[in-house]
Amino acid sequence: MIDFSGVSQAIVRIPSLSLAPGTTVITGPNGSGKSTFLRLCAGLALPESGSVGIDGRTPRETEVGWVGEFPDQNLLFSRVYDEIAGPSLFAGAPCDETRRLVDDAARRLGIVDLLDRTVRSLSGGERALVGVATALSRHPHLLVLDEFDSHLDRETAEIVAEALERCPCRYLIRCTQDMETAALADTLLYFEKGVIVHAGSPKEVFSALQGTCFYPESWGG
Ligand SMILES: Nc1ncnc2c1ncn2[C@@H]1O[C@H](COP(=O)(O)OP(=O)(O)OP(=O)(O)O)[C@@H](O)[C@H]1O
């Protein structure tokens, strides 16, 4: 479980929360604290008070993959292969293992033909695919995605969705404004002003959001 206890960070306040393995989707208005929550999950921010535990470890003791809202801003290396290899290199993995993980991640995202390209020569969508390949290359325990897909076309979004479906990570936590994506979650959290106002299955949460823009169009009503 991912457990929040007495957590306070910037505007976010989470007295108590336990997330089961599977896919958790976060949604809510702009500025409601979604990114802050994701940063706490990933260990990129530490709570000012309280604690976050992932199966008994802190986020920083956990293998975490992260894709931010603007994936192209997080790319570190000039060559695509090196970018995807980055987490393995930082983990001190042997070269042959790194090669295997990079090839596997690139295959899953359909970007094998990009491996020798420079990151600078890629389109925004291609950079997002590289960001996702990098984040899931080492099969992280927790994969955190912060609205990275807002400017992907449908075909690219489907490639990513398929890769995520097959990703063996224990927890996937993602933020989206796409309620059709949110509807597929195991758990849905709806934030307002730093607080989780609704939590539960998509059916439970959407029943409380009927008549708002946070309701899947395909569900009608
Ligand atoms: N370290 C901080 N100190 C003070 N305020 C902060 C800090 N980090 C974030 N905030 C504020 O907290 C609020 C929530 O920010 P956050 O980025 O988490 O919201 P969000 O729901 O992801 O927004 P958006 O949908 O616009 O991306 C914002 O008003 C932001 O300015």
The string of pLDDT tens digits covering residues 66-103 is: 998 887 777 888 999 999 999 999 889 999 999 999 99
Residues 48, 99, single domain; the answer is no
How many angstroms separate the alpha carbon of residue 44 from the centre of ligand 1? Answer: 14
User: Which mutation among 11, 48, 173, 191 tests ligand 1's pocket best, with the greatest number of atoms within 8 A of CB?
Assistant: 11
The string of pLDDT tens digits covering residues 186-212 is: 999 999 999 999 999 999 999 998 888
Angle subtended at Cα 168 by Cα 164 and Cα 169, rounded to the nearest 5 degrees: 85
ipTM of model:
0.93
The answer to whether the CB of 17 is under 6 A from ligand 1 is no
Q: Which residues have CB under 8 Å from 176's CB, separation 6+?
A: 25, 26, 27, 147, 149, 182
What whole-number distance in Å separates Cα of residue 32 and Cα of residue 193? 4
The phi, psi pair for 123, rounded to 5°, reads: -75, 170
Number of independent structural domains in the chain: 2
CA distances from 86 to 10, 26, 116, 156, 174 (A): 30, 28, 15, 23, 22
CATH code for the domain in which residue 94 is found: 3.40.50.300
Residues 105, 161, single domain; the answer is yes
Q: How confident is the model at residue 9 (pLDDT cuts 50, 70, 90)?
A: very high
Residue 178 lies in a domain: no
Can you state the angle between helices 95-108 and 124-136, rounded to 10 degrees? 130
Q: 100 or 167, which is more confident? A: 100
pLDDT given for residue 75 in this prediction: 80
Residues 45, 104, single domain; the answer is no
Nearest atom, ligand 1, residue 175 CA: 22
The answer to whether the CB of 48 is under 6 A from ligand 1 is no
The answer to whether the CB of 31 is under 6 A from ligand 1 is yes
Q: How confident is the model at residue 221 (pLDDT cuts 50, 70, 90)?
A: low
Angle subtended at Cα 204 by Cα 154 and Cα 19, rounded to the nearest 5 degrees: 80
Domain span holding position 89: 67-169
